[in-house]
């Protein structure tokens, strides 16, 4: 998970390592200290990953602590949400939640101690006057006349504050530090205030509550925290943190905690603070804290994000010292990246258009793999096929523009996993709306090696059988705000939720439940809503599309005015290809066997297509090369020019050759590629240096599998009882145990055999 072993260690881990090496601390103790006044969001995830991640990496521990010093806004439901979030992300708080409120008596005693030392006083100036006396950045402040109260008087007043003898705001307890300090926070900061309010845990025991600046450092100290990691806005509070602990003499015997700051995570197209999120929840703009459009952990969880994708995202953005805004596209990339190889691919039609195949009689079932991916995985289902089917409405066009590759009166199309069909007749209603297509199928064109038809098609589209398909509700989510840096409710995206009530899905998805997450082919990734889903009324949430459609949409709208006429629809809105691009595209799809999506990416980008052709000249593996060039190389070329790349087309060919001849697995190839982008080393060299050669020898893999089977008796039992999904679990564990080096195909076969 955490890349603490990578050569670019973050600055927090550097500090922790130095402190351990110098013997300053025997054990690293961190804490994650949220205030339970709202549901945690992706920013908190970042903080969780840092605090729990550091504790885990250095064999220390991390406390989950509720910073519950403000009685009016806190609630146990938020405590539960925070516990859920930490657990869901895979961290362990030993089932022990700490609460600052549990330390109220101790914190009170420390306040008494400061008063006795003459370091704290009860101030009775009103708020306004207090503000005036504080001075400005350029002017020193003046100390309140109450600062001269005797220790006895202060003790008496403070005790009566506690007993509830005064009204809110009548007095405060302040530290006596320095009214002319350059750091304004040090100008006699408040330590306690009067609040006649019920506390969700402490009840009505207290009429005074400690301020963050006083409570936080003491809570850290009491828990034996070593590294108190917080966000940058607390930088100026660090002086108070140190003053309190040092003035009280804490840390003279055993070392005290120190505060370290990192940059807050900000994400575009959303708001993040709990206060603003609460407004959306209370204002009814969203359905609750777990609305899939919110950046809350509960929202991501409900939408279908995996914990892994969030962890990878947090690791990927690194830990910085300066605030910055991260593009939400990066988060979307990490969930796509996680699901791409994991989840089954199925057929679902969102906006059904009926097709009657006039020359087909009877019915059949077509065996189709759930995982037509690069990494082989067992699992398939039967697709019912008969005379009446549904296709996506926009996969047919009667008067298509140039560059439209799907079904038209002149152009046949392949039904994914099945036959090629040709349109014979278009049937319309009185308003001219197309209501049905009559088509013919080509019996000799069945997908795979059976296809002897010789018919050329430019794409394959999703479809479902009219009799067997299941009706499902599909919820399409888009960004909640239309502005990159939203300022208020006026920036809300009115189309952030679209509900489709009558989508149709192939029956195996509902009947066999091969997973909870799916790729609906050509549509995106979807998740069975954990709350509203039932077999009678299946509901799927769209997690994310297959591509970053926002980046694309923006570009299109910019160029749309000049190229209105050329605006065409291929997969969404895309500008038409030039003739040269079209020629390349045709060559890639018909001669080289690339799928239209990959061919489209390559053909449209001159840098990519020439890189691809250069690699192809070195090693002739068109599909594998096309995949790496259109994905990984393309990603690099987004930010760089070809001459800035550390690797060459020849080296990419060399890398793919190693995958092809099974020297390395495709998983390892990704790792090698990353290294190539960083160091520019030869792939062969990297594989040799790091010992990454694929393990295919069953006698080497077998013992590892035995061990994993022995360690997971529960899952073995479940598997034997019929939960075959767990095959993936075992295979995953073996791949993990070998650092991804085991040959997945061999592992698959061996595991299946052993679990029989």
Residues that bind ligand ATP (CB under 6 A): 33-35, 43-44, 46-47, 67, 230-231, 264-265, 272-274
Closest among 212, 243, 258, 230 to 25, alpha carbons compared: 258
* Residue among 272 and 629 whose Cβ is closer to ligand ATP: 272
Report the nearest approach of ligand ATP to the CB of residue 326 (Å). Answer: 10
Q: How many residues does the chain have?
A: 756
Q: How far apart are CA 393 and CA 410, in angstroms?
A: 17
Closest among 357, 305, 348 to 328, alpha carbons compared: 305
Q: How far apart are CA 532 and CA 522, in angstroms?
A: 25
* Residue among 280 and 750 whose Cβ is closer to ligand ATP: 280
Instruction: Give the SS3 label for residue 755.
Output: helix
* Residue among 248 and 277 whose Cβ is closer to ligand ATP: 277
Closest among 661, 658, 649, 666 to 687, alpha carbons compared: 658
Residues 275, 277, 280, 283, Cα dihedral to 10°:
-40
**Could you tell me if 341 and 374 are in contact, meaning their C-beta atoms sit under 8 angstroms apart?**
yes
Report the nearest approach of ligand ATP to the CB of residue 37 (Å). Answer: 7
Report the nearest approach of ligand ATP to the CB of residue 220 (Å). Answer: 11
Report the nearest approach of ligand ATP to the CB of residue 274 (Å). Answer: 3
Neighbour tally for 631: CB within 10 Å: 15
Structure token digits, residue 530: 């954990």
Report the nearest approach of ligand ATP to the CB of residue 724 (Å). Answer: 41
Alpha helices in 66-166 (DSSP H): 76-88, 104-116, 127-133, 151-163
* Residue among 309 and 459 whose Cβ is closer to ligand ATP: 309
Report the nearest approach of ligand ATP to the CB of residue 276 (Å). Answer: 8
532 burial type by CB count under 10 A (0-12 exposed, 13-18 middle, 19+ buried): middle
Report the nearest approach of ligand ATP to the CB of residue 229 (Å). Answer: 7
* Residue among 487 and 591 whose Cβ is closer to ligand ATP: 487
Report the nearest approach of ligand ATP to the CB of residue 235 (Å). Answer: 12
* Residue among 252 and 273 whose Cβ is closer to ligand ATP: 273
Q: Where would I find the beta strands (DSSP E) of 145-233?
A: 172-175, 190-194, 208-210, 227-231
The DSSP H or E segment spanning 552 is helix 549-563
**Could you tell me if 256 and 221 are in contact, meaning their C-beta atoms sit under 8 angstroms apart?**
yes
Instruction: Give the SS3 label for residue 575.
Output: strand
Report the nearest approach of ligand ATP to the CB of residue 322 (Å). Answer: 13
* Residue among 334 and 589 whose Cβ is closer to ligand ATP: 334
- Please state, in angstroms and as integers, the Cα–Cα distance from residue 677 to each residue in 25, 627, 714, following that order: 38, 17, 42
* Residue among 79 and 389 whose Cβ is closer to ligand ATP: 79
Closest among 113, 106, 188 to 147, alpha carbons compared: 188
Structure token digits, residue 638: 């987004």
Report the nearest approach of ligand ATP to the CB of residue 268 (Å). Answer: 13
Return the HEC string of 582-627: HHHHHHHHHHCCCCHHHHHHHHHCHHHHHHHHHHHHHCCCHHHHHH
* Residue among 33 and 412 whose Cβ is closer to ligand ATP: 33
* Residue among 46 and 542 whose Cβ is closer to ligand ATP: 46
Structure token digits, residue 660: 């092809």
Return the HEC string of 428-488: ECCCCCEEEEEEEECHHHCCCCCCCCCCCCCCEECEEECCCCEEEEEEEECCCECCCCCCC
Taking only Cα atoms into account, the Rg of the chain, rounded to an integer number of angstroms, comes to: 31
* Residue among 278 and 575 whose Cβ is closer to ligand ATP: 278
Q: Which residue has the closest beta carbon to ligand ATP?
A: 43
Q: How far apart are CA 568 and CA 329, in angstroms?
A: 24
- Please state, in angstroms and as integers, the Cα–Cα distance from residue 239 to each residue in 214, 246, 247, 320, following that order: 12, 10, 12, 21
Closest among 325, 276, 267 to 300, alpha carbons compared: 267
DSSP tag of 368: E
**Could you tell me if 419 and 447 are in contact, meaning their C-beta atoms sit under 8 angstroms apart?**
yes
CA angle 342-521-308, nearest 5°? 25
Active site residues: 35, 264, 274
Report the nearest approach of ligand ATP to the CB of residue 49 (Å). Answer: 10
Closest among 127, 569, 524, 48 to 311, alpha carbons compared: 48
């Amino acid at each position: 998970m955490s890349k603490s072993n990578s050569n670019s260690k973050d600055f927090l881990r550097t500090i922790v390592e130095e402190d351990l090496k110098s013997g300053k601390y025997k054990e690293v103790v961190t804490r994650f200290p949220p205030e339970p006044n709202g549901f945690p969001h992706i920013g908190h995830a970042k903080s969780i990953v840092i605090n729990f991640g550091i504790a885990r990496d250095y064999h220390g521990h991390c406390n989950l602590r509720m910073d519950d010093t403000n009685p009016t806004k806190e609630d146990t439901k938020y405590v539960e949400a925070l516990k859920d979030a930490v657990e869901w992300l895979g961290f362990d708080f030993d089932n022990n939640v700490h609460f600052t409120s549990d330390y109220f008596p101790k914190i009170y005693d420390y306040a008494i101690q400061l008063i006795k030392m003459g370091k704290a006083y009860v101030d009775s100036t009103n708020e306004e006057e207090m503000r005036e006396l504080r001075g400005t950045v350029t002017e020193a402040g003046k100390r309140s006349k109450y600062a001269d109260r005797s220790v006895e008087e202060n003790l008496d007043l403070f005790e009566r504050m506690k007993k509830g003898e005064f009204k809110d705001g009548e007095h405060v307890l302040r530290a006596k530090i320095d009214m002319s300090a350059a750091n304004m926070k040090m100008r006699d900061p408040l330590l306690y205030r009067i609040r006649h309010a019920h506390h969700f845990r402490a009840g009505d025991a207290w009429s005074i509550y400690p301020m963050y600046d006083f409570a936080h450092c003491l809570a850290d100290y009491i828990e034996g925290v070593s590294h108190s990691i917080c966000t940058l806005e607390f930088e100026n509070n660090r002086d108070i943190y140190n003053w309190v602990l040092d003035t009280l003499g804490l840390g003279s015997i055993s070392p005290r905690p120190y505060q370290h700051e990192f940059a807050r995570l900000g994400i575009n197209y959303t708001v993040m603070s709990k206060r603003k999120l609460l407004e959306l929840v209370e204002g009814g703009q969203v359905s609750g804290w777990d609305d899939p459009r919110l950046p809350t952990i509960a929202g991501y969880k409900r939408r279908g994000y995996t914990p892994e994708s969030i962890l990878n995202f947090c690791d990927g953005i690194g830990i910085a010292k300066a605030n910055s805004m991260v593009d939400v596209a990066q988060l979307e990339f990490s969930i796509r990246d996680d699901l791409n190889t994991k989840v089954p691919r199925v057929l679902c039609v969102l906006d059904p258009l009926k097709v009657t195949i006039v020359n087909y009689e009877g019915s059949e079932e077509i065996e189709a793999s759930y995982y037509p991916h690069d990494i082989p995985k067992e699992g398939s289902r039967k697709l019912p096929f008969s005379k009446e089917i549904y296709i996506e409405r926009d996969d047919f066009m009667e008067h298509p523009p140039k560059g439209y590759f799907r079904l038209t009166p002149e152009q046949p199309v392949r039904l994914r996993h099945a036959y090629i069909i040709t349109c014979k007749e278009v049937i319309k209603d009185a308003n001219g709306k197309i209501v049905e297509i009559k088509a013919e199928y080509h019996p000799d064109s069945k997908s795979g090696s059976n296809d002897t038809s010789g018919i050329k098609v430019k794409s394959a589209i999703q479809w479902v059988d009219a009799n067997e398909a299941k009706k499902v509700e599909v919820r399409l989510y888009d960004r909640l705000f239309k502005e990159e840096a939203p300022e208020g409710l006026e920036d809300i995206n009115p189309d952030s939720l679209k509900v489709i009530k009558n989508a149709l899905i192939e029956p195996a998805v509902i009947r066999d439940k091969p997973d909870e997450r799916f790729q609906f082919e050509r549509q995106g990734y979807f998740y069975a809503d954990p709350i509203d889903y039932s077999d009678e009324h299946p509901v799927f949430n769209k997690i994310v599309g297959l591509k970053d459609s926002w980046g694309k949409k923006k570009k299109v709208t910019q160029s749309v005015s000049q190229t209105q006429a050329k605006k065409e629809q291929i997969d969404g809105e895309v500008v038409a290809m030039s003739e040269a691009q079209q020629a390349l595209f045709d060559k890639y799809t018909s001669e080289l066997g690339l799928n239209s999506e990959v061919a489209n990416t390559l053909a449209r980008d001159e840098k990519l297509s020439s890189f691809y052709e250069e690699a192809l000249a070195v090693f002739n593996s068109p599909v594998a090369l096309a995949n790496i060039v259109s994905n990984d190389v393309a990603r690099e070329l987004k930010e760089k020019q070809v001459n800035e790349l550390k690797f060459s087309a020849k080296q990419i060919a060399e890398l793919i050759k190693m995958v092809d001849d099974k020297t390395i697995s495709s998983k390892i190839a990704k790792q090698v590629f990353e290294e190539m982008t960083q160091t520019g080393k030869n792939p062969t060299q990297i594989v040799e240096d790091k010992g990454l050669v694929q393990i295919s020898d069953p006698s080497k893999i077998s013992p590892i599998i035995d061990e994993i089977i022995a360690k997971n008796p529960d899952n073995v039992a479940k598997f034997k009882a019929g939960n075959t999904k767990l095959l993936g679990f075992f295979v995953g564990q073996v791949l993990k145990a070998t650092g991804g080096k085991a040959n997945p195909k061999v592992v698959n076969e061996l595991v299946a055999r052993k679990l029989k």
